Amino acid sequence: MSNPSLLILPGDGIGPEVMAEVRRVIDWLGAKRGIVFDVSEGLVGGCAYDKYGTPLHDDTMAQAQAVDAVLLGAVGGPQYDNLDFSVKPERGLLRLRKEMDLFANLRPAQCFDALADFSSLKKDVVAGLDIMIVRELTSGVYFGEPRGIFTEGNERVGINTQRYTESEIARVARAALELARKRSKKLCSMEKANVMESGVLWRDVVSKIAAEEYPDIAVSHMYADNGAMQLVRAPKQFDVIVTDNLFGDILSDCAAMLTGSLGMLPSASLGAPMKNGRPKALYEPVHGSAPDIAGQGKANPIACILSFAMALRYSFDLGAEADRLEKAVEKVLADGVRTADLMGPEGGVPVSTTGMGDAVLAALDASL
Ligand code: NAD
């Protein structure tokens, strides 16, 4: 059997710096656990524009379609701000998401005990928090037609359309229900069925699929505005949440901030299963290219490392190795090892990007 394949796209700014630490974890898995990946590397974003005049070359797109999973660092930077919209660095990322048809965006919000003080909420509200938001990513109001700014009479009108088909709702519902089955068998679906027909359909389809195909999962429904309140009031009541593109955009950012630093947040975007049964998949940290600290060895690589842990779990069925990597990160944080973004009033051991990688590798060694 051939090795599982990975395409690494480090991108711009701190992307290559944080990805270098993931490469070390990949090498560690090969050397110490006998888990070997076929790794290829490519360009995306501003660096791809500099070389090819496009933020994603067709050959790189073809490679992304062919591998088992794509790992991306970050794209963008001020030097690209004035480029034409069609070749901006973000277009490379959007093209990947669109052409791979990555309809389910997984955003975990996990609060490591050692960082509970970083949350703007009280420590006991967030300590031990571990929830997963599944956001529909390829449809809804960001894509629906008609859209645009039109003139009606003597004034302009801005129009966007919230549109969901049953099959679009069904596929993201199944993705969330499958996740719930692997976690605590609890799913909360959020929409606004009280005021939106698309919400009525959303609730109907989720309920039907849950009842017919997932009787073992406890499914509840909540209006998204109440969901936002509950997320900051008592977030630990949730496990997996599924919601549409617009509400998911807002609720996942809200949930993410419960946990403190942007440098800690991983994500996965999944599509339909490929011939080998693995889903189309793109893993990336939530943060951007952080031009303000790029090239200074200050970036926190944990979001990127945890994104790779998600790849181990969701693309490669290596849940035990994902647990090992997440526990290594937890231990490093508990030991007080801190990149600058994690340095709070209680202090800690200040480290560079590479220093954080060293500490994670040492914790992985200690786990054997
Ligand atoms: P950003 O996430 O890059 O940075 C926001 C702040 O968080 C900065 O102060 C930065 O130093 C800090 N930060 C981010 N990641 C960090 C890490 N790993 N360790 C330590 N500190 C970290 O967001 P921004 O400043 O709004 O955007 C900068 C560029 O990134 C822009 O060009 C933007 O378009 C792009 N961007 C890309 C993505 C992506 O690639 N998915 C996402 C967001 C923004």
| CATH code for the domain in which residue 283 is found | 3.40.718.10
Residue nearest (by alpha carbon) to ligand 1 atom 38: 288
Nearest ligand 1 atom to alpha carbon 72? 40
Range of the domain at 203: 130-258
The answer to whether 341 and 293 are in contact (CB under 8 A) is no
User: In this structure, is residue 116 part of a structural domain?
Assistant: no
Task: Tell which of 226, 241, 258 closes a domain.
Answer: 258
Whether the CB of 10 sits within 6 Å of ligand 1: no
- Alpha carbons within 13 A on the beta-carbon side of 120: 9
Work out the pLDDT band at 117, boundaries 50, 70, 90: confident
The answer to whether 43 and 328 are in contact (CB under 8 A) is no
- Which pLDDT score, from 0 to 100, does residue 96 have? 96
Q: 228 and 285 in one domain?
A: no
- Per-residue pLDDT, averaged over 124-137, amounts to 94
Angle at 59 between CA 315 and CA 105, to 5 degrees: 35
- Whether 153 has a pLDDT exceeding 90, the answer reads yes
- Which pLDDT score, from 0 to 100, does residue 224 have? 98
Q: 92 and 171 in one domain?
A: no
pLDDT digits (tens, 9 = 90+) for 254-310: 888 887 778 899 999 999 999 999 999 999 999 999 999 999 999 999 999 999 999
* Active-site residue, 253 included: yes
CA dist., res. 307 & res. 328, Å (int)? 14
- Which pLDDT score, from 0 to 100, does residue 120 have? 84
95: amino acid identity, one letter = R
Task: Tell which of 221, 243, 258 closes a domain.
Answer: 258
Q: 163 and 88 in one domain?
A: no
27 CA distance to ligand 1 centroid (A)? Answer: 27
Q: 185 and 166 in one domain?
A: yes
Work out the pLDDT band at 83, boundaries 50, 70, 90: very high
Among residues 113, 142, 186, 239, the one annotated as catalytic is 142
Give φ, ψ of 157 to 5 degrees: -135, 130
**Average pLDDT for the chain:** 95
Task: Tell which of 223, 242, 258 closes a domain.
Answer: 258
CA dist., res. 137 & res. 140, Å (int)? 8
Q: 104 and 42 in one domain?
A: yes
User: In this structure, is residue 115 part of a structural domain?
Assistant: no
Instruction: Please state whether the predicted TM-score (pTM) of the whole model is above 0.85.
Output: yes
- Whether 119 has a pLDDT exceeding 90, the answer reads no
User: In this structure, is residue 140 part of a structural domain?
Assistant: yes
Q: How many helices (H) and strands (E) does the chain have?
A: 12, 14
* Active-site residue, 327 included: no
Q: 275 and 185 in one domain?
A: no
Q: How many CB atoms lie within 10 A of CB 99?
A: 15
User: In this structure, is residue 99 part of a structural domain?
Assistant: yes
Work out the pLDDT band at 115, boundaries 50, 70, 90: confident
Ligand 1, from 43, 44, 253, 262: best to mutate by most atoms within 8 Å of Cβ?
Answer: 262
* Active-site residue, 59 included: no
Q: How many CB atoms lie within 10 A of CB 65?
A: 14
Cα–Cα distances in Å, from 212 out to 169, 175, 207, 272, 354?
A: 15, 15, 9, 21, 49
Nearest ligand 1 atom to alpha carbon 340? 20
Residue nearest (by alpha carbon) to ligand 1 atom 1: 288
User: In this structure, is residue 225 part of a structural domain?
Assistant: yes
User: In this structure, is residue 119 part of a structural domain?
Assistant: no
Q: How many CB atoms lie within 10 A of CB 230?
A: 16
Q: 280 and 254 in one domain?
A: no
pLDDT digits (tens, 9 = 90+) for 190-247: 999 999 999 999 999 999 999 999 999 999 999 999 999 999 999 999 999 999 999 9
Whether the CB of 105 sits within 6 Å of ligand 1: no
> Structurally, how many domains does the chain consist of?
2
Q: 283 and 253 in one domain?
A: no
- Which pLDDT score, from 0 to 100, does residue 113 have? 87
User: In this structure, is residue 202 part of a structural domain?
Assistant: yes
Q: 225 and 188 in one domain?
A: yes
Q: 273 and 254 in one domain?
A: no
- Which pLDDT score, from 0 to 100, does residue 9 have? 98
CA dist., res. 281 & res. 279, Å (int)? 6
One DSSP character per residue, 198-227 reads: HHHHHHHHHHHHHHHH-TTSEEEEEEHHHH
Where is pLDDT greater, at 119 or 351? 351
User: In this structure, is residue 124 part of a structural domain?
Assistant: no
289 CA distance to ligand 1 centroid (A)? Answer: 5
76 CA distance to ligand 1 centroid (A)? Answer: 9
- Whether 179 has a pLDDT exceeding 90, the answer reads yes
* CA dihedral of 211, 179, 247, 93, whole degrees rounded to 10: -140
| SS3 of the chain: helix, strand, coil, percent, to 5 | 45, 20, 30
Q: 239 and 142 in one domain?
A: yes
The answer to whether 201 and 173 are in contact (CB under 8 A) is no
Q: 205 and 184 in one domain?
A: yes
